[in-house]
Structure 1
Amino acid sequence: MLNDESTSFMVQSWIEPFSTSTDQDVPFALTPPLKRLNGNARQQLRVLYQGAGLPADRESVFWLSVQEVPQKSKDENILQIAVRQRIKLFYRPADLPGDVGQAPSRLQWRMVPKDGKPGLEVRNDSAFHISFSSVNLKSGSNNYPIPAEMLPPYSSQSFVIEGAASLAPGGATKIEFESIDDDGLAVQHSSNISS
Structure 2
Amino acid sequence: MLPRSIAVSLGLLGMLMATQAAASISLNATRIVFDGDHKEANITVRNGNQDVLIQSWVDMNDASASRAPFAVTPPLARVFAKEQQLLRILYEGTGMPTDRESVVWLNVQEIPKASEAENTLQLAIRQRIKIFYRPAGLPGSALQAPAQLEWSLAKHGAQTLLQVKNPTLYHVSMADIKVQAQLASDSSMIAPGEAKQFPLKTPPAAGPVQLSFSSINDYGAQNHYTAPLSGVATHATESRLKP
Query: Could you state the TM-score of these two structures normalised by the residue count of structure 2?
Result: 0.72
Q: Residue in 2 aligned with 1:153? A: 192
Q: Could you tell me how far apart the structure 1 residues matched to 2:97 and 2:66 are?
A: 12
Q: Give how far 1:32 is off.
A: 1.2
Alpha-carbon deviations, 1:135-159, whole Å to 9, x = none?
A: 1111xxxx11122410001111011
Q: Which runs of 5+ in 2 are unaligned?
A: 1-44, 232-243
Q: Residue in 2 aligned with 1:180? A: 216
Identity rate of aligned residues, in percent? 38
Q: Which runs of 5+ in 1 are unaligned?
A: none
Question: For the pair shown, which has the larger CA radius of gyration, 1 or 2?
Answer: 2
SS state of the match for residue 43, structure 1? Answer: strand
Q: Give how far 1:168 is off.
A: 4.7
**How many aligned positions are there?**
186
The 3 A distance-change label for structure 1 pair 24 and 70 is closer
Letter in 1 for 2:47: N
Q: Could you tell me how far apart the structure 1 residues matched to 2:170 and 2:94 are?
A: 19
Following superposition of structure 1 onto structure 2, how do residues 63-142 of structure 1 map, counting pairs within 5 Å? 63-114=105-156, 116-138=158-180
Contact 1:127/1:154 (8 A) holds in 2: yes
Contact 2:209/2:230 (8 A) holds in 1: no
Q: Which of 52, 66, 75 is the aligned partner of 2:94?
A: 52
- RMSD across aligned C-alpha pairs, in angstroms? 1.7
Contact 2:57/2:107 (8 A) holds in 1: yes
Residues 75-84 or 44-53, more deviating: 75-84
Alpha-carbon deviations, 1:31-78, whole Å to 9, x = none?
A: 111111112211111111111111111111011111110111101122
Q: Could you tell me how far apart the structure 2 residues matched to 1:24 and 1:65 are?
A: 13
The 3 A distance-change label for structure 1 pair 107 and 127 is same
Q: Which of 210, 216, 225 is the aligned partner of 1:189?
A: 225
Q: Give how far 1:193 is off.
A: 2.0
More helix by share: 2
